[in-house]
Every structure is written in C-alpha cells, then in structure tokens.
Structure 1
Amino acid sequence: MKLFTKIIFTLFILTASLNALYAQTIVKGTVTDAKTKEALPYVTVTFGDSNQGAPTDGNGRFTIKTNDKFDYIKVNYVGYRTITRNIEAGKEQTINIAINADTRQLSDVVVKAGKKKKYTNKNNPAVELIRQVIAHKAQNQVTNYNYAEYKQYERMTFSLSNLSDKFKSKKIFKNYQFMFREQDSTAIGGKTLLPLYMEEKLSANYYRKVPYAQKQVVEANKQVKYDETFVDNQGLTTYFNRMYQDINIYDNNVSLLSNQLLSPISDNSPNYYKFFITDTIKDQQPNLIELSFTPRNTINKLFEGRIYITMDGNYAVQNAVLTVNKNIDLNFVRQMEARLSFEKNPDNRYHLSQSNLKIEFALNKNKGGGVFGERLVTIRNFQINTPRPKETYDGPAQVYAKKYDEQTDAYWTESRPDTLDKAAADLYKNVDSLQTIPSFKRTMDIATLVLAGYKNFGPFEMGPVNTFYSFNPVEGFRARLGGRTTTALSKRYYFETYGAYGTRDQKFKYFLSSTYSLNNKSIYSFPQNYIRASFQHDTKVPGQELEFVQESNFLLSFKRGANDQWLYNDIFKLDYVHEYLNHFSYAVGFKKWNQSPAGALQFQNLLPNGALNNVNLIHTTEMSLQLRFAPHEKFYQGKLYRTPIPDKYPIYTLRYTQGFKGLVGGDYNYQNVVGNVSKRFYASQLGFSDVSIEGGYLFGKVPFPLLDIHRANQSYAFQFQSFNLMNFQEFVSDHYATFTIDHNFNGFLFNKIPLLRRLKLREVVNFKGLWGAVRAENNPANDRSLLRFPTNSLGQATTYTLNNGMYAEGSIGIGNIFKVLRFDLVRRFTYLDNPNAPKLGLRTFVKFDF
C-alpha cells in the first residue's frame, strides 16, 4: 500500500512539473473579412489540427485556451480560405486575423475525358445528396419546434455605388465630401460609396407551433430620416424591407426584389439546377460537403452558388453562399450575394444565426454608378421548446415597445452584436447635416417637382403639375391650379384646394377640403385617423374609375371613341377614417350629391301623357360604411396615392351604402352592398397571378345614374381594375359579379426562345369577366317614370344591361420592354354588336419591375 501511495505521489509531482513547464496558452483576437473589414461571427478557431478551440462571437471576437503545447492556430470559415497563424506556447497573446473569401467559381471545375459526359440526375451522387437534404427539410426548420424564441438585430444600408473620382470631385459635391466612404475596390459596390440611408432594428421574436403564432416585438429602431416634405420615411422603410426580405433557404421559393426564386433545396430543384460535389471539409465537426449548383438555364430566376451540408445524419445546411448569374432576368441588378450561416442547437439541429444580403442596382450592368444595398441580420440567444404565457403570442404579428425610437447612442453601442465602422456610425448625423445645406434642399425640391409634381413653399405646396392643363369635349381647354398645406403649417390641420376653368363650357370648377388628424400624425402616414370635410363642384365621366392618377391628368385627355357624355357634380362629403396597426380599417361617410347632365348626356323620362321630360338635376343623400382588412399590407405613401407593394396576402373590402329619401333633399331610398377580394398567387418558375373577385347588389328603385355603372376605360393606358374595351357608361347593373386575373409568366416561355432570350421580355395574359343584370323594377323599359338609358346623336342606345350573358375581354401582352413598358393586345369577346364597340385595341402600361 505504501508503495502504491509513493507511485501516485510521484506521478502527481511529474504532472505538476510538466504543467509548470508548459504553462497555459491563451489566444485572444478578432476575425474580420479582409476586404470589407467586417467582423465575422461563428468562425471556428482551433489550436492546430485539434478539436480544442471555439467559434467567434457575434462581434467576431474569440478566446481559446489550452494546457497542451501548440505552435499555431487554425482559422476555418465556410466560404473563406482556411489560414493558420503562429503562436507562442505558454503565453497569453492577442492576434487579430483577416481572412479572404474563397472566390472559386464553378468554372474552375474541369472534367477531362475523351468525350464530354452529359450532365444527368441519374446515378449522380450530388443529386442523391440534395435529395437527402430535401427529405430532411422539415426536421431542420424552426417550424419543427413547438416553441422557439430569439433576439434579432437587423441593419439595412443604402449607398450610391461605384462612383468615380471624377464624380466625387464634381463641384456639386463640394460640400458633401464628408459623406463619401472608401472600401476595397473589389467589394460589391466598388471603391467609392456615398451612403444615404441606414436603419437598425432590435427585436425579440416568438414562435408557437400550435396554435400557430409568430410575433416580433421591436424593442429599438433607429433610422436615417429625411424631411417628410420630400420623403415618406415610413414608406421607404417598408419598400426596402420588401425588397430585402428574410431568406429562408428551406422554403421552396425565396422572395427577392418582389420576385420569387426557386431555392436550391426546393422539392423539385433537381429539375432546374445542376449540382456538383466540389469539396469535402473534414477539419471541423461535423464534417461538411461543399455542394455547388448552377441553373440549367442561366437566364431563369434561379440562384447559383454553394451550400455546405452537414454529414451527421441531419443533412442540414450549415452555410450557404447564394448569387445570381449575370444573365439572369432581374432588371437593374448588377451584383447580388447572400451569405447564410447556421448554428447548432442543443438538440444538434441548426438554426439561422446570420444572413447578409448585398445587392447592387444599376441601369448599366457593366459600368457606371449604381445603388448598393445591404441587409445584415444576426440572431442570438436562440431557445427552443420554452413556452411563454399565452399573451406573449397574442395580438398583431409585429408590435413596438414603448419609446422604441428613443434609445440613446450608448444603448445602441452596447446592444449591437458588432461594432459600426466610423463611416457607418457617422451616417445619422451626416444626413442631418446634409439636410441643412441649401444646395441639397434645392436638389430635393427639384426632384419633388419632377417626380411627385409638387412645388414646395414651406407650409404650402402647389400641384400636381400634370393637372394644370388638359382638354376634353365638354370643357374644351381646361386650366387648373391648386395645392395643399404641409406639416410645416400643422400636423393636425390640412387644407386642400384647386380651381379650374373650361374654355368651351365657360364654367368655373373648384374644390375645397379641410382635414383634422386625430392622432397628431400626417394624414398621409399609416395608420390614418382623421375627419375630413370637402366640397367639389366639377365635371366627371360616368363609369370612369382611375387608378393612381387624377381625372385632370393631361395624358387622360387622349381617348378613343366618343367621349361627350359627362356630368356636372356638386358633392359635399364628410368622412371619418380609422386605420389600425393590424391593417384593419373602417371609414364612415356622409355624402350629399347633386348631379346634372353635361355634354351629350341627357336625363329624360316620359310623363304619364307620353311627353318627353328633361330632368336637370338628381339629388341623393347617402351614408356609407367601408370595412377593409389587408393583413401584412405594404405600400409606399406618395404625395397623392399609396402605391401598393404586391404580396401573397389577400385584401378584403366590404362597402355598404344607404340612400335616404327626404334627408337633406335626397330623392331616393336604396341600399348598395359591394364586396371585393384581391390576392397575388405565386407559381414559382411559372410567375405569378393577380386575382380579383368582386360582387355587388343594389336594393331599391333608382334611376340609371345611381345603378352600378361598370368601370370602363377609353384611354390608351392599360388599367387593371377597369374593362379596357368597354365604353364609358356602356353597361349598368343593379347586381353583378366580376372576375379578373392577370398572369405574368416572368419570361418562363420567352427565355426558352434564343432570339427572345437576350431581350429579357416577359409574357403576360389577362382576362376579365363581368356578369350582371338589371331587375325589372329598375329597367326604364318597364317603368316610363325612370330615366331612359342614354342615346347618341343618332338616337342609338349607348347604355345597356347585361341580360344577354357575360361581358368578357382578354389580352396577351409583352412586358419588360426597355425594362419599363408593357404592351397588351386586348380582344373583346362579347357584346360586339353594340354600336362603336371595339373588338381589338393596343394598350400600354409603365411599370418599374425587378
């Protein structure tokens, strides 16, 4: 026993001596990208080829320790070159390391053989591997957990990019030199950038599987803000976030720039992608296989790049590098790169830990300046299957904490997972300084006049300029001048007015409105909550309902066919509008409407003795209620209209109108109910469809001007919600249903035709159907006291019912002409015997698509 004790004591002494000989080695430092200088999170740093080490944190920092003797450390990160650095054993030392991206492309993979082997999915190990990834998708998604929660940091930046020294030295930028930023010339965006926008957001996110709930609590938000006179800051944020959405590689389709690109691990990706095993990474656990992929057709909306698959039985994606081919049919995109990193959970599965999406836009894909945007998302403190109280998951999908936009600089410095470089950190104050420079104010003032049509004079702005001059058969040449107040006058009170005069009818027209905001916000910002009173004395075309344009717009002066049946209107309206953060809204309205015929339009009925009687005025008094629900709706608020940003979510609208006889001179009792549902459906590589269904029913006996006058379009612009080959006031109904579908193939067919492929044209089809009728009680053929349907100068009827079946029209079109134009050849299929009914027409539409 004594001998055993001595042996143990001797071994202890020897061990202590060895430990003293080889003291603990401690290495600290930061790992950054050699080009961008950005800190890299979750980089593996180990001693030599051992498994002793640790990943960097969210700020790229690491600390590793060992009692063993090593003379170097190894730095390994997927998508970057593995490097080593010498160290001194037994000492504490700090080593900052910059690593370079692995820029290998698929073109570097060369297979030599006597005869080139045709790529095939059959017996292809790369395809077999991707099928395993697809088979394990469900278990590797966050939605596989009953509960999940995490903290998320987002940073979005936009800059003018690829600027030359000549551009930077121009006299106009003499006072803006403090705004420019330099970076590595090989990085996306080029050497010189001019940062213009940045937004940061910190949030807590909660997910529950059953019942399904996903909620984001925004704890802090900081944004570069421009003068609201020129820019809708809230809408700008919404637009940028729609362009740079979260990338979930496990979804079958990935949303990018309002398009959907097929994921390389979608269920049917082997039919659209070619896969190659290009590397096996064995110096980390678990081992990874680098799987490279490229589109079978490089012009289709598909990714190319690399994904790294874990070989631990999960077949999970640990990292991904996604780019697009230069030939891809994405407008204005010069370069795009998305890097995704995943981190292991306690159950050995993986969750997204960071994504970095960079895109440079430009008119010319090969040279010249552009716009560079980047969205960085970092996820921390990921927890699984830890249920929270029910109220945590209740309510809207996104809520904001109190004083979320009032956090101090010290709070942001402490809360960011990384450190902003000086140029980024100074951007907030730089933009504030920029807006005090007179030359910048003049530039924004000119841009607002050109793009929005308003000239700002501080508390008042004049416009829109495209309505100052127009012409039509009733008024002749029409001159109009108007404007409205701005938030510089008041955030609660808004006034708007215009005056107009027609040289042919020699009548003055005018409009006055006063609005009071109940939430001390601009009435043009979301969510709206206001009361408005207005009076309008002006002309109108019956059955013309315009989208995102005013009736006095100069371009609408040009119309096909006869356009001489008009109305003079006197309309007093009192409206209350209330929107909620969940995009539910309601509007209550009172309307006193007097309408009289103008031009060739006549209101006539037959007296009991059979004599023809001219009716000069129709009086109506209405109350209305509109309910609208647009979940997850996104839009940009312009000077005049909200421009919607289409998405997959439906929009529901229900409107009820009650007419009162005897109230403030109203002549008729009636009720009108109209419901509408619209939605965009995505079909992956086959494009997308915009679908709208509407129905209405009018109860009561009314003259034809109060029937549903179906939306017609006699302009040469293609209108989605109107019938493009229907004449104004051609059809009326007291109950109806409409169906509209507009499908954009996104070049799916044209891309397969060599002569058309280079033009990057996109094929579209459209169909509109209308069913309706007029009940006997509202048909003047059955009741001579009702106003007769209008006729033209030859006595031919110009207004009809739809009792002979559906009105239908369709079109085939070519979009993306010069990246902005769409032309449709429209064909009318029914009611071709109506006088002046067009059978064919060419319509155009201007739209900026990516």
Structure 2
Amino acid sequence: MKNLLLPLILLFTVSISAQTKVGGMVVDEFDNPVAFANVIFKNSFEGTITNDDGRFYMESDKTHDALLISFIGYEDLEIPLTSRVTYNMKVVLKESTQQLKEVVVISGKQSKKNNPAVEILKKIWAKKRQNGIRKFKQYAYDKYEKVEFDLNTIDSALMQRKIFKGLEFVFQDLDTSRITGKTYLPIFLNETFSKVHGDNILNEEKEQILGNKNSGFDNNQAIIAFVDDLYQDYDIYNNYLKFFDKSFTSPLSRTGIDTYNYALRDSAYIDNKWCYNIVYYPRRKNELTFKGDFWVNDSTFAIKNINLEVTKSANINWVKEIYIEQEFDVVNDSVFLLKRDYMLSDFSFQKKEKSRGVYGKRTTVYNNYVFDEEKPKEFYRKDRNPFDPSVMNQDSVFWARNRLEELNKDEKGIYQLLDTLKTVPKFKSYYNLVSILASGYVEIDKWNMDIGSVYDVFGFNDAEGPRIRLGARTYFGENDPWRLEGYMAYGFSDKKFKHGISGKFLLDKQSRLIVSGGHRRDIEQLGVSLTATNDVLGRSIASSAVLTVGANNRLTNINLSAFGLEIEPITNVRFRLGSTFRTLRSALPEDFSLDYIDPDTDTVASETKQLDVSTVVIYTPGKRTIGYGVERRDINDTYSTILLNYTRGIEGPWGSDFNYNKLQFSYSQPWQIGGFGRLYSTIELGKTFGDVPLSLLNVIPGNQTLFTTYGTFANMDFYEFVSDTYAAVHLEHNFNGRLFSRIPLLRKLNLREIVGLRGVWGELSDSNIALNAPTNIPLISPDERIYYEYSVGIGNIFKIFRIDFNFRGNYLDRPNARPFAVTGTFGFSF
C-alpha cells in the first residue's frame, strides 16, 4: 500500500499567497544551535518552535512587523521585520541574567515538581473525559476532508531534467510551504464529505461517506485506500497517537511528564476565554515524540489549539517532518469542540534539509454538531458501503453545498491540469511504469486484462529446478463484480507444465454473497501454516525459495479442485461453505514418502484422494475495507482475527479415501503497548478425529528458507513434527527503537529491536502412526514437552533490512536439529 507514494510524484501546480514569511536559524553566543526555541509573531498567537538544528520557518496570512524569539535560560529577543519576506535570518540568543518573572523555571530539562505547566497538565488529565463530544450520550457532525500531495523542493536543476521534458508547463506557478519554506508542486487532490454518528454509551461510531472526489484518478480506490490508511483519525487526548504504523507519545499523555519537558510560556484571552500557553519538547532524542505548544482554557482545561511537530531525530523512516495543527471551537463555557485539523507530512528518502520529497497534506473541517439524538444499535452495525457509484459521482452542486472549506483558485486548477496531464503520452508512460512497480501487474486496457504478477515470474525448488510462471487476470475496474485469474508454469528439471485457474462472482452487494471456484495442478510445499484456508492459486514462499537450509525436498504434487460460497451478513463477520477434492502424492518419492497402509487392501498406497467439505467463520472486529466489488482492500491493520474452521472428510465419492473430522481455531491480535512498541500474538488450536495419512495430518510449520516468516518455526525442518492434536502460540514484539534510543553509540542508527517467542505442543495417536508407512519421515509429535524457540532481531538496517537470530529451546537431540538459525527479510516500512 505504501508503494503507492511512487505514482504520486509526477503531476501538477499551485500557488498560495501569504503576507509575512520568515525563516532562519537560532544560535547561542557560542554559535551552537538552540533547539526548541519559541518563535512567534509579535501581538499574535501564530508561532513555531525551532527544530533540532535550530532552524525555523513560518508564514502568516497577516502582515507582521516584529518577531519575538525566546527560550528558557536566555533573554527574550525582539526582531523588527522590515519586509514581507525575510529569509536566512541568524538569531543569536544571550544567556539570561535572571529568571522569568511570571514562572519559576529551570534551564534545559524542566522539573517535574513545582512546575506550573505540569500542574495544569494534571488538570487536563482529570477533565479529558468531560470535554468535547465525550460529554454527551450521543453525537453527530459533518466532516469534510481534503488531502493533497505535493512534490517539494522544486529548483531549476529539477525542472531541467529529461524526465520533465515535454511537461514543463506544470512548473508555471510555484510557491513555498507556510510550514517549511520549500517550493512545492501539487500532484494530487482528494475530497471527502461524510456524516459521523457516535454513541458514548454503546461505544459505537459510524461514518457515512456521502461524497468522494479525487483529481485525475476517479474510482481509483488503491489511492483512496492508501490515503485512508496513511491518515487515520486520532484524538490528541489519547496517551498515544498512531501515525504511519508508529505510536507517538502524546504531549497530553499521562506518561508525558516522563517523556517531555513542559514550561508555562504565556497567558491571554482567546475568543473571550482566558487560556494558558504551554511549550513542550522531548527529554530524549530518537524517541517517537513531538515538540510544540498548546493553549488550554483556565477553567474547563480543554485544549483551545495545539500544534505538534515530530522531532527530526525521531525513529521513523521516509518521513522527514510531520506537523499538526488542531483548532477547537468554544461552544459554551464548558464545551470545546474540534473545528479544524491540519496535518503536513514530508516524505523523503533522506532527512537532509535540502533533500527532495513529497508533501502529504490533510485538512479536516468539522461542523454542524448535534448531540443526544439516540440511534438504535442496529444503525451502527448495519454496513453502508463507503464508495458506491453514487458517492463517487456527486455533481458540482453537491460539492458547492457541502465543502466546509472552499478550495482556493489553485486547488480548483488541480482538477483541470490533471485532466490535461492524462492526455500527455510521456506522463502516461511514467504513470504506467510506476503502477507496475506498485501493483505487480501490467495493465492492458484494450483487453481489460492485467498480466502478472511480475514478482512471481521466476522461482526454484528441488523438484522443478528453475521455474518460470506467467499469469493474467481480468480487470475492468476497481469494483468488478467478477474476476477470473489464471497462470501457467514450467519446471526445467521435471520438464512439466503446471497451471491454475480461479473465478469469483459477487451475487449480492448488500450481503456480499460470493461464489467462487477453481482448479490447480502444481508442486507445493505443504505444512507451512496450521490453519490456512484453501486458496486455489495460493503458493507459499517455501515452494519457490532460491536459498534454503538443508535438503528442501519434501514437496507434494497437488491436484486441487475447489468450490465455495461466502457471505457477510454482518459487518466483519464472514461465513464460508466450501468443498475441495485433492489428489496428493510426493513430488520426489525417492527422497520424501507419503506412503500409507490402505485400510481396505492392507497394501501400501502412495497417493491420497480426498473430498472435503468445510465451514469457516471469520470475525475481524474493527477491520476497515474499501470498495464494493468482488475484491475489497483493507485500509487498516489494527484489527484482531478470530477463525473457526470445521472440515468433514468424506469417503467414497470420486474415489475419496478417508472419513474424518477436523476442528481448528485461531486468534490473532496486534497489541499497542503504549510507547513500548507493538506486540503481535497468535493462538492456534486443532484436532483431527479419525485416522488419516501424513498428507492430511497437521504438519507443524517449519521454515527452511532464509526468510523470517511469522507463524512458522525458524529452527524446525519441514515435516519434522506432525500431529493430529495441537496447540501453538506465536508472540513477536517490536520495540520500534525504544531501547536502542537510550544507547549513545546506537542512537543515530535508528535501529529497532524485535524479540520473539513461539511454542507448540502436539500429539499423534497410535492408530495414525500405524496407518502411515513413510520410509524416510519419522512420525514424531512434540508431546513430551512444549517445543519452543526464541529470537532476537534487529530491524531497520539501512531502513530496509531486518535480521533475526533464532534459538531452539529443546528437542536438541533430534537428528539434524538446528540449535541456531539466521533469517531475515526486506521491506519498506515507516
């Protein structure tokens, strides 16, 4: 999803006027940068704070004639502004000879005791559940959201590059950001209008999207989903704020006094309410923190406005700056409601001052609050698809009536210029290339087909040797009610063709009734997941891994036919009823045996034919999706997943060999552990009733590849343990650099520490052992004691690589047991 930043780099132009612009650097008398110094326009509430290098930039729609600069322990400084634009200022602060008059403070790190700012903070904690929409039983409001992406740091060298030859017209009108002072070129604009209803008693909230419009990419839900995932809602009163998969400590958090320095800077009337101004900045570098200030009312202790800027040293990738402003409206003496929320993110490969990147700007305006109008519980549970055709095609009258903040003339021009760009062949070529990299598919519009995935073209395993694969799928649009997909593959060692084809059809949009079916004949590494569902075209990485540990020869020839029905009568509750018929035999019989004693003839059989009927219930509370076609996109990853699967094996039809019953359960949950990172947890339970051959038993998922794969056991070989009854747990915690940030030599590397613990217990009945007759696979289950492994990993190496050191805890006396293993993975993450 995050790869979709790439298609947004090539598009369009804008201009925003400002009356006063200032920028420069604040230093002390020894020419050292002064970080977190306060910079404010005189006689105003418009201000900012210098970054880690002492730099600042600020602009205002008003004309100002002086700038006030201050920092605790230094004398305040007033600088006259003689022109509308003043850049490259160098401000020297002198050490103060006396303490500030109004507040007793300590220079540098602030005291937690006898600090008036901390005393005010405690009152904010006490009142936070009594402010805003939380004061009422029910609430509703209108919400208008505008998201814009801009290519920033535009200069003559960039304009003259060959990539922009023929596209020079997009640079006709450039301006500077009011936050960073950099030139920028708008490339994408998305607008959404919605109605939000909530119930504080039921703890339910529902957002009904009534209109959505985006520049040049109508109906492109990949981009819309990316935007929704990138800019999820947040509440500054929460202890932790989640941005870009990271959990930042809020300056209003109860743990804030251990994370931030606070100082009371000023007090004044704002909208006829007396408010205090508190400045905050982090106590330590490299943690996920902010710097900024906020104004808080002196009686309700509700926030009137706040700004948050992520510190430059924060351990986050590809994001150079994050700046947030929130403004609250005074309704009466005790109610302050969120009025406007602005967020700017500067995405860049580097954090250097002059490096180029992409701005992501979100502006959200709230209005028409209504309280204590009760809705039935069913109202919140009933799903309204947020992007049906009527939502995507609202007319100009709708937008003129529902825009809570008017577009300026340059934002209006984005739609016109994007339409022009789409007609330029060179731009279309760039866009198509980046789309291939992002999706993995080559689009052939005239055939309504995609070729791919390009990432699956080459593979290797012991049975096939080098392998090539070519696939295709139908694609008329994001919301196709049906989709066909297939592939052909060829192995150069076994000299055999393989294939797979599947189709799915959405019969009813309201209940999401889907019928699906398909067929696959291929070579597969079975046993890499305990509770995997039957995906006709699914293929594990272990089946084509180029590099493996030990002999990776326990592969299976699979001939699979499947048919299924799926329905979602309640949001996030899915029911599946399906049937499969499989023929399974070893792909390398001389190395890996799937033989068993045929109970009817008492002879050895090497092939299993099996008809199964299964019923699956999947519950994903909190999951958010987008789209109304047969395939939808997830736009969050914070939800839990509960799966219950019952499988009935039927003997007889089409030569099916066995009667049995299998029951499986799994529960996966991500946990945000405050500022200490994220814990992923999974519990799996299962039992097979009846006697079945090895090919139908539960294989404990080993991992002989060099890739770190959650849910597998890195020190266990494929088929090392098998069972008919099992219980497994997987725990993995990513501290996101919380520990390394406290080690001086490691702090600047922005590494992240990951620890893991996984264990499994299982048993295998005597009758199942007697049924099977493999000549080279010992049928062992971890029934004596729980098999366990633990791991310590280092992530974010060069921002893209993670390495894990895995240790086997027991069963070390097993033949070829691997007490230690090193695995790794590549990936782009914030």
Q: TM-score range by the shorter chain?
A: 0.7 to 0.9
The answer to whether the 8 A contact 1:798-1:835 is kept is: no
- Give the structure with higher Rg (CA): 1
Give the residue type in structure 1 aligned to 2:462: P
Task: Determine whether 1:507 maps to 2:501.
Answer: no
Q: For residues 223-282 of structure 1, give each alpha carbon's deviation from its aligned partner in whole angstroms, at most 9, with x where no partner exists.
A: 335388xxxx32432332232222311111112122111111111211111101112224
The answer to whether the 8 A contact 2:328-2:338 is kept is: yes
Q: What is the CA distance between 1:798 and its match in structure 2?
A: 4.2
3-state DSSP of counterpart to 1:518: strand
- Cα 1:824–1:553 shift into 2, 3 Å: closer
Q: Which residue of 2 aligns with 1:329?
A: 315
Of 635, 650, 654, which aligns to 1:660? 650
Greater mean deviation of Cα atoms: 691-700 or 448-457: 448-457
State how far apart, in whole Å, the 2-side matches of 1:489 and 1:235 are. Answer: 8
Task: Determine whether 1:601 maps to 2:592.
Answer: yes
Task: Determine whether 1:827 maps to 2:786.
Answer: no
Give the residue type in structure 2 aligned to 1:804: E
Task: Determine whether 1:170 maps to 2:161.
Answer: yes
The answer to whether the 8 A contact 1:813-1:823 is kept is: yes
State how far apart, in whole Å, the 2-side matches of 1:557 and 1:603 are. Answer: 24
3-state DSSP of counterpart to 2:407: coil
- Cα 1:831–1:489 shift into 2, 3 Å: closer
3-state DSSP of counterpart to 2:367: strand
Of 62, 65, 73, which aligns to 1:98? 62
Q: Which residue of 1 aligns with 2:552?
A: 563
State how far apart, in whole Å, the 1-side matches of 2:494 and 2:145 are. Answer: 59
Say what the alpha-carbon RMSD is for the aligned residues. Answer: 3.5
Q: Which residue of 2 aligns with 1:308?
A: 295
Give the residue type in structure 2 aligned to 1:240: V
Task: Determine whether 1:78 maps to 2:68.
Answer: no
State how far apart, in whole Å, the 1-side matches of 2:169 and 2:344 are. Answer: 24
Runs of at least 5 residues in structure 1 that lack an aligned partner in the other structure: 1-30, 37-73, 82-95, 521-525, 781-785, 792-796
3-state DSSP of counterpart to 1:98: coil
- Cα 1:130–1:119 shift into 2, 3 Å: same
Of 578, 593, 598, which aligns to 1:589? 578
The answer to whether the 8 A contact 1:199-1:224 is kept is: yes
Q: For residues 487-530 of structure 1, give each alpha carbon's deviation from its aligned partner in whole angstroms, at most 9, with x where no partner exists.
A: 2799455433322333332332222334434369xxxxx99654
The answer to whether the 8 A contact 2:522-2:559 is kept is: yes
Of 195, 198, 216, which aligns to 2:189? 198
Task: Determine whether 1:148 maps to 2:139.
Answer: yes
State how far apart, in whole Å, the 1-side matches of 2:737 and 2:337 are. Answer: 34
Q: Which residue of 2 aligns with 1:296?
A: 283
Task: Determine whether 1:384 maps to 2:371.
Answer: yes
State how far apart, in whole Å, the 2-side matches of 1:838 and 1:799 are. Answer: 18
- Cα 1:606–1:148 shift into 2, 3 Å: closer
Q: Percent identity?
A: 27
State how far apart, in whole Å, the 2-side matches of 1:303 and 1:489 are. Answer: 38
Q: Which residue of 2 aligns with 1:3?
A: none
Of 266, 276, 280, which aligns to 1:279? 266
Q: What is the CA distance between 1:435 and its match in structure 2?
A: 2.8
State how far apart, in whole Å, the 2-side matches of 1:78 and 1:632 are. Answer: 39
Q: What is the CA distance between 1:765 and its match in structure 2?
A: 0.2
- Cα 1:282–1:34 shift into 2, 3 Å: same
3-state DSSP of counterpart to 1:556: coil
Give the residue type in structure 1 aligned to 2:45: V
Task: Determine whether 1:627 maps to 2:612.
Answer: no
- Cα 1:729–1:204 shift into 2, 3 Å: same
Task: Determine whether 1:808 maps to 2:788.
Answer: yes
- Cα 1:430–1:663 shift into 2, 3 Å: farther
State how far apart, in whole Å, the 2-side matches of 1:624 and 1:469 are. Answer: 33
Of 660, 667, 675, which aligns to 1:685? 675
Q: Which residue of 1 aligns with 2:399?
A: 412
User: Where do residues 219-230 of structure 1 align in structure 2 (5 Å cutoff)?
Assistant: 219-224=210-215, 226=217
Of 370, 387, 412, which aligns to 1:425? 412
Greater mean deviation of Cα atoms: 763-772 or 662-671: 662-671
Q: Which residue of 1 aligns with 2:122?
A: 131
Q: Which residue of 2 aligns with 1:45?
A: none
Give the residue type in structure 2 aligned to 1:319: N
State how far apart, in whole Å, the 1-side matches of 2:541 and 2:273 are. Answer: 67
Runs of at least 5 residues in structure 2 that lack an aligned partner in the other structure: 1-15, 22-40, 49-59, 75-94, 100-105
- Cα 1:127–1:513 shift into 2, 3 Å: closer
User: Where do residues 770-781 of structure 1 align in structure 2 (5 Å cutoff)?
Assistant: 770-780=760-770
Greater mean deviation of Cα atoms: 567-576 or 159-168: 159-168
Q: Please report the TM-score for the alignment, with normalisation by the length of structure 1.
A: 0.81
The answer to whether the 8 A contact 2:595-2:607 is kept is: no
Q: Which residue of 1 aligns with 2:517?
A: 533
State how far apart, in whole Å, the 1-side matches of 2:153 and 2:663 are. Answer: 55
Q: What is the CA distance between 1:304 and its match in structure 2?
A: 0.9
Q: Which residue of 2 aligns with 1:837?
A: 817
Q: What is the CA distance between 1:144 and its match in structure 2?
A: 2.6
- Cα 1:351–1:270 shift into 2, 3 Å: same
Task: Determine whether 1:481 maps to 2:466.
Answer: no
Q: Which residue of 2 aligns with 1:5?
A: none
- Cα 1:549–1:558 shift into 2, 3 Å: farther
Q: Which residue of 1 aligns with 2:826?
A: 846
Q: Please report the TM-score for the alignment, with normalisation by the length of structure 2.
A: 0.82
The answer to whether the 8 A contact 1:469-1:554 is kept is: no
Give the residue type in structure 2 aligned to 1:847: G
Q: Which residue of 2 aligns with 1:364?
A: 350
The answer to whether the 8 A contact 1:189-1:372 is kept is: no
Give the residue type in structure 1 aligned to 2:112: N
The answer to whether the 8 A contact 2:596-2:693 is kept is: no
Q: Which residue of 2 aligns with 1:355?
A: 341
The answer to whether the 8 A contact 1:80-1:102 is kept is: no
State how far apart, in whole Å, the 2-side matches of 1:363 and 1:97 are. Answer: 31
The answer to whether the 8 A contact 1:79-1:101 is kept is: no
- Cα 1:406–1:100 shift into 2, 3 Å: farther
3-state DSSP of counterpart to 2:332: coil
User: Where do residues 174-193 of structure 1 align in structure 2 (5 Å cutoff)?
Assistant: 174-180=165-171, 182=173, 184-185=175-176, 187-188=178-179, 191-193=182-184
Of 412, 421, 427, which aligns to 1:434? 421
State how far apart, in whole Å, the 2-side matches of 1:759 and 1:361 are. Answer: 19
Q: What is the CA distance between 1:294 and its match in structure 2?
A: 0.5
State how far apart, in whole Å, the 2-side matches of 1:398 and 1:766 are. Answer: 38
State how far apart, in whole Å, the 2-side matches of 1:577 and 1:391 are. Answer: 22
Give the residue type in structure 2 aligned to 1:544: V
Q: For residues 280-303 of structure 1, give each alpha carbon's deviation from its aligned partner in whole angstroms, at most 9, with x where no partner exists.
A: 224752122110000101321111
State how far apart, in whole Å, the 1-side matches of 2:183 and 2:173 are. Answer: 5
State how far apart, in whole Å, the 2-side matches of 1:163 and 1:834 are. Answer: 62
Q: Which residue of 1 aligns with 2:684?
A: 694
3-state DSSP of counterpart to 1:532: strand
- Cα 1:478–1:97 shift into 2, 3 Å: closer
Q: Which residue of 2 aligns with 1:253?
A: 240
State how far apart, in whole Å, the 2-side matches of 1:480 and 1:625 are. Answer: 32
Of 177, 181, 199, which aligns to 1:208? 199
Q: For residues 402-460 of structure 1, give each alpha carbon's deviation from its aligned partner in whole angstroms, at most 9, with x where no partner exists.
A: 82233211321232122212232132343343333322332233334444443333323
Task: Determine whether 1:543 maps to 2:527.
Answer: yes
Of 462, 468, 472, which aligns to 2:461? 472
Q: Number of aligned pairs?
A: 747
- Cα 1:182–1:317 shift into 2, 3 Å: farther
Q: Which residue of 1 aligns with 2:773?
A: 788
State how far apart, in whole Å, the 2-side matches of 1:718 and 1:747 are. Answer: 19
State how far apart, in whole Å, the 2-side matches of 1:397 and 1:689 are. Answer: 32
Greater mean deviation of Cα atoms: 595-604 or 354-363: 595-604
Q: Which residue of 2 aligns with 1:747?
A: 737
The answer to whether the 8 A contact 1:162-1:193 is kept is: yes
The answer to whether the 8 A contact 2:703-2:715 is kept is: yes
Of 279, 282, 304, which aligns to 1:318? 304
Of 324, 328, 331, which aligns to 1:345? 331
Give the residue type in structure 2 aligned to 1:766: G
